[in-house]
């Protein structure tokens, strides 16, 4: 990917004008995924009243 981008920028004459920095990101990270966070909040709102203590107390 880096090489292809470098070649493309050179062909366009932009290799000296544009600086690109590649940053490693994990393939999947729930902390970086907004949908995972929203699902977490929904589950928390729905299931918060049903704690283990409340469930096992017979209420």
> Which residue ranges make up each domain of the chain?
2-56
Question: Residue 19: phi, psi to the nearest 5?
Answer: -110, 125
| Alpha-carbon distance values, 57 to 3, 44, 48, 50 (Å) | 63, 20, 15, 11
Identify the pLDDT of residue 54. 59
Burial of 15 (0-12, 13-18, 19+ CB in 10 A): middle
Please name the residue that has the structure tokens 């928390």: 44
Predicted TM-score (pTM) of this structure:
0.39
pLDDT by residue for the chain (59 residues), tens digit each?
A: 788 988 998 999 988 888 888 888 778 777 778 898 899 899 888 887 766 665 566 55
């Amino acid at each position: 990917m880096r090489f292809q981008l470098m070649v493309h920028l050179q062909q366009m004459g932009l290799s000296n004008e544009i600086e690109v920095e590649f940053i490693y990101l994990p393939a999947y990270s729930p902390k970086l995924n907004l949908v995972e966070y929203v699902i977490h909040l929904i589950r928390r709102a729905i299931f918060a009243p049903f704690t283990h203590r409340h469930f096992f107390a017979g209420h």
